[in-house]
Amino acid sequence: MESERIPDRPVASSSDAQLMLENERLRRELQRLEALVQQQHDTIVQNEQRWTFMLDGMADGVWELNLQTQTITRSARYRQMLGYSLDEFPDTVQIWMDLLHPQDRAAMADPGLRPYEEGLRQSHETTYRLLAKDGSYRHIVDRGQVVSYSADGKPLMMVGISTDVTEQKRLEEDLRRNLNRLANLIANFQDGILLEDENRSIVLVNQHFCDMFSVPLAPDQLIGLDCSGMAEQSKHYFAEPEPFVERVNQLLRDQKLVIGEELLLADGRVLERDYVPVFLDNVYTGHLWKYSDITKRKRADDAALRQKEKYQRIIENINLGLIEVDLDDRIVYTNQSFCAMSGYRADELIGEIATDVLLRGQNVSFMKEKSESRLSGKMDAYEVAVTSKGGEAMWWLISGAPLYSETGQVIGSTGIHLDITKQKQLESELRIAKQEAENSARAKELFLANMSHEIRTPMNAILSLGQQLTKTPLNEQQQFFLRMINTAGSNLLVIINDILDFSKIEAGQLSLEKIGFDMAELLRSAVHVMTHNADKKGLGLSLQLDGGIAPVLLGDPYRLNQILLNLIGNAIKFTDRGRVDVHCTYQQHHQMQTISITVADTGIGMDPQFQRNLFTKFTQEDGSIGRRYGGTGLGMSITKQLVDLMGGTIRVRSVKNEGTTVTVQLTLPIGTETDKPAQSQEIGQTGALSSRRILLVEDNEMNRLVVTTILDPYNMVIIEATNGLEAIELLRTESVDLVLMDVQMPVLDGLEATRIIRRDISTSLPIIALTASAIRKEKEACYQAGMNDFLAKPFDEKNLIGKLANWLKADSNLPQNQQETMNEDKYDLSSLQAISRGNDEFVRKMISLFCTETPAAAAQIKAAYESGDFETIKYLAHRTKPSIDNLGIESQRAPIRQIEQLAVTDPASPELKTLIDNFERAVINVTTHMRQTYLTDQEPG
């Protein structure tokens, strides 16, 4: 430094000079010190600015604590971490303590700062939670250190850094949960898991791995162990030990992902192994082994493969053609059988349009509809005509179904084809054979109808004229001859009826009644009828009845009587000496009785071989039987089928030359007296017939003679016609009250004639069919043609007069007194009066109720028929039956039951309409008469 020049002064003493020099030096030193202090002050200011800038820029909070004064200074960042301002969070220790989490407060308060003050601790790193302004707790990592000491070594000042690690804590917690979840997942994984680091130390292993390789330690005991020798130690578990070890080493060298390696164990199990190398930032950090026991799956796959191969062989060799087509109908697969059926090779079919190749333009639209239906998942089977490669016309039965992809989408269809060409040919032959059989059946039916007509027509004349002849005076010899004629005619009629009954049974046209009857009385009557035949042969005939047989059973007494007469008649026929015994027993089952009827004889018996054929039609033991005893061999066959129709059984025990025992067993419901039909009455008042005009249309002269002979005493006017054409011509010019119309006639038969009458002449004229055919189909044809009623030949006087009386009364123009007589015949109040026990008021109420409800029911039945409601017809007819029975309306007792039955079994029958019309008309007539006779003094309505 340049020295300053000292001005000249007066010379002083040496001491003063010395003092002045010292003062100057001190002045200069003071200036230097002031300059140095200023320089240090500037440096401190700069350092403080730099320190403040640095602290404010740090992400962490900085604090300084004076251990002597307990004053603390915090950086602005410290408060920013918590969201407070300086006023909200001043630099005091107490407010910091107040913001600590309650669980951390006690730990921080004790021992507090004592270890620092006592010189026991120089630094710390701790974590605590502070309450932020937003109400959440922030995780803080606090690091502090003593930075200055006093001369005597006491700590004076601490500085520290506080870091907000809340997000890190959250991530650590998430990581911890994920690790726990992963650990639990791996622990419960059904595969063996082993995770190794890059040094082959175990990082993670699960129990399944330990169990798979019989490791005696728990998974957590294996963590950190070196497993570099594990392959060598466990190789004995594998079927090929050395290749196993070599493969492990190769995988570790290659460090490439390998999935699904299969390993065969020595005990037969199969493991699947995955090797997964682990890389972090392209740096190899370990690998994971996963072992899965796939023994069951492998065996199932092998079994499935074998099954697939098996079924593939079956499909290839089965006699069913199989093809698969895509959505464009292109063939994608075919088996060998289909190729053989079609005549094409597989390479000629694959990729081709199926309909183009196989149908050649035929049925294409039909097959297109089938293909479209597959899109909706429809499966079906159908027949289609195809043409083979060789041009042969064939028929295939195809069972088609949708073809699905693995995702469930329809990708085409599959079809199984069966060659039914031969079956189709057989069907055609069968149709022809069926037609021939039907033609044969019709021919048989026609034959039976013709036979019935041809035989019954003269039989009608013979029997009817014989009956009329009995009314004339005859000497003894003439009476004998007449009895022989009538007996022969009756026997011949039995044979005819047997043949026709059998035909009706075979055709399923025989229906059974279900009405009330007295079983004991039926048996007595049958035995009584046959007593004369037994007496003529000198045989004993007895009847033994159990006392508990119900007085009324429900069934068909007429067919049961036919069975009894046949069995008793056969027993008498084939017994030359001894006796015939009839025995009837019963068993009770609630409201049912099982009736056992036994007919035992001491006759010629049968050998066992013939017993097996006893119920075969037209069968007798040998030719001599027919010559000696007569008969057609139909009786037992008809009896067996009648018993079957009744739901019963028939058993035969016989010993040759010792006798035969036949037992019939039937189970029948128990009925009441009201279930019995009213006893048929003799022909009553016939005044309504007098002077009535009857047109008799009959081509057979004998039958015309029979009818005119029967009707002559009744003073009726008979007009005759020999065929339908004559009848029509007569009706166009003459008025008649009723027509008796034969069915089978030359020129124009009765059915066609009736149709013309109904169309051109009259829809209401009563027409009664006269027919020698007893086949139900013939009866149906009569009603369908428009006839009102049906009378089968041969008929007796009672049947003919009853029919005429019934239809002529309905259209009678007789005087009032004659109509009253007629109407009295239409109902019988005796049953109702018996029920009332003399209470006339009860009878009047029942009549009034009948007159109110029954016509309405009849009208409802007719309306239901017109609307096709046959269920209602059945219900109303069933409900009306008791009223008809109680009022004794005999003419409608059977018809109302027929209406109920036909509504269920044959609602389309023309007979049903006729029955309903007649029922309504009869009810109106009866109720009209009842009101006039019994209810005239009652108020209207």
pLDDT at 599 over 70: yes
What is the C-alpha to C-alpha distance for residues 896 and 889, in angstroms, rounded to an integer? 10
What is the C-alpha to C-alpha distance for residues 215 and 235, in angstroms, rounded to an integer? 13
pLDDT average, residue stretch 201-211: 88
User: What Å distances lie between residue 479 and 475, 484, 486, CA to CA?
Assistant: 6, 9, 10
Neighbours of 549 (CB within 10 A): 18
What is the C-alpha to C-alpha distance for residues 764 and 316, in angstroms, rounded to an integer? 74
What is the C-alpha to C-alpha distance for residues 938 and 941, in angstroms, rounded to an integer? 9
DSSP 136: P
| Sequence-ordered list of residues with C-beta below 8 angstroms from that of 145, at least 6 positions apart, any chain | 122, 123, 124, 158, 159, 160
What is the C-alpha to C-alpha distance for residues 338 and 354, in angstroms, rounded to an integer? 12
Cα-trace Rg, the chain: 61
Task: Determine the number of helices (DSSP H) and then strands (DSSP E) in the chain.
Answer: 33, 27
Which phi and psi angles does 543 have, rounded to 5°? -135, 130
pLDDT at 924 over 80: yes
Q: What pLDDT is stored for residue 583 in this prediction?
A: 95
- pLDDT digits over 504-534, tens only? 555 555 567 788 899 998 898 888 878 878 8
pLDDT average, residue stretch 279-289: 88
Q: What pLDDT is stored for residue 941 in this prediction?
A: 36
| Range picked from 485-489, 610-614, 713-717, 771-775 for highest mean pLDDT | 713-717
Mean residue pLDDT of the chain comes to: 79
| Sequence-ordered list of residues with C-beta below 8 angstroms from that of 249, at least 6 positions apart, any chain | 231
In this prediction the pTM is 0.37
| Range picked from 33-47, 118-132, 732-746 for highest mean pLDDT | 732-746
Neighbours of 728 (CB within 10 A): 19
Residue that the structure tokens 């239901």 belong to: 864
- pLDDT digits over 448-464, tens only? 666 665 666 666 667 66
Which phi and psi angles does 88 have, rounded to 5°? -80, -25
Which phi and psi angles does 491 have, rounded to 5°? -65, -40
- pLDDT digits over 389-437, tens only? 888 888 888 888 888 887 878 888 888 888 888 888 888 888 888 888 7
pLDDT at 3 over 50: no
Which pLDDT band holds residue 65 (cuts at 50, 70, 90)? confident
DSSP 687: G
Cβ pair 180, 276 in contact under 8 A: no
Q: What's at 612, amino acid-wise?
A: R
Which pLDDT band holds residue 535 (cuts at 50, 70, 90)? confident
What is the C-alpha to C-alpha distance for residues 597 and 584, in angstroms, rounded to an integer? 5
What is the C-alpha to C-alpha distance for residues 113 and 67, in angstroms, rounded to an integer? 8
| Sequence-ordered list of residues with C-beta below 8 angstroms from that of 47, at least 6 positions apart, any chain | none
What proportions of the chain, in percent to the nearest 5, are helix, strand and coil?
Answer: 50, 20, 25
End-to-end CA distance of the chain: 159
| Sequence-ordered list of residues with C-beta below 8 angstroms from that of 521, at least 6 positions apart, any chain | none
Which phi and psi angles does 459 have, rounded to 5°? -65, -40
Q: Strand pairing partners for 74? A: 63
- pLDDT digits over 292-313, tens only? 888 888 888 888 778 777 766 7
Q: What pLDDT is stored for residue 108 in this prediction?
A: 77
CA atoms within 13 Å, Cβ hemisphere of 633: 16
What is the C-alpha to C-alpha distance for residues 725 and 753, in angstroms, rounded to an integer? 7
Q: What pLDDT is stored for residue 592 in this prediction?
A: 92
Closest CA to 356 of 380, 330, 317: 330
For CA atoms 805, 809, 814, 820, give the dihedral sign: positive
- Annotate 903-941 with DSSP letters as a single string: HHH-TT-HHHHHHHHHHHHHHHHHHHHHHHHHSTTSPP-
Mapping DSSP to helix (H, G, I), strand (E, B) and coil, where does residue 745 land?
A: coil
- pLDDT digits over 320-365, tens only? 888 888 888 888 888 888 888 888 888 888 888 887 777 755 666 7
Mapping DSSP to helix (H, G, I), strand (E, B) and coil, where does residue 883 land?
A: helix
Q: What's at 702, amino acid-wise?
A: M
What is the C-alpha to C-alpha distance for residues 481 and 487, in angstroms, rounded to an integer? 10
What is the C-alpha to C-alpha distance for residues 339 and 568, in angstroms, rounded to an integer? 71
Cβ pair 335, 342 in contact under 8 A: no
Q: Which helix (H) or strand (E) element contains residue 672?
A: none
Q: What pLDDT is stored for residue 257 in this prediction?
A: 92
Overall size of the chain counted in residues:
941
What is the C-alpha to C-alpha distance for residues 190 and 759, in angstroms, rounded to an integer? 92
Burial pattern 221-251, b for ≥16 Cβ within 10 A else e, equals: ebeeeebeebbeebbebbeeeeebbebbeeb
Which phi and psi angles does 270 have, rounded to 5°? -125, 125
DSSP 764: S
Bigger pLDDT: 336 vs 865:
865
pLDDT at 810 over 50: no
- pLDDT digits over 811-845, tens only? 433 333 333 334 434 677 776 766 666 677 777 78
Cβ pair 633, 620 in contact under 8 A: yes
Q: What pLDDT is stored for residue 739 in this prediction?
A: 95
Q: Strand pairing partners for 159? A: 64, 145
Closest CA to 165 of 118, 125, 203: 125
Alpha-helix residue ranges (DSSP H) falling in 255-294: none
What is the C-alpha to C-alpha distance for residues 801 and 806, in angstroms, rounded to an integer? 8
Which pLDDT band holds residue 56 (cuts at 50, 70, 90)? low
What is the C-alpha to C-alpha distance for residues 191 and 411, in angstroms, rounded to an integer? 37
Q: Which of 269-283, 800-814, 818-832 has the lowest mean pLDDT?
A: 818-832
Mapping DSSP to helix (H, G, I), strand (E, B) and coil, where does residue 189 land?
A: coil
Cis peptide before 882, with omega less than 30 degrees from 0?
no
Q: What percent of the chain has pLDDT over 90?
A: 15
| Sequence-ordered list of residues with C-beta below 8 angstroms from that of 219, at least 6 positions apart, any chain | 187, 204, 205, 206, 207, 209, 210
Closest CA to 291 of 250, 252, 260, 251: 260
Q: Which two tokens stand for residue 398?
A: 């195809």
Closest CA to 561 of 591, 593, 530, 605: 530
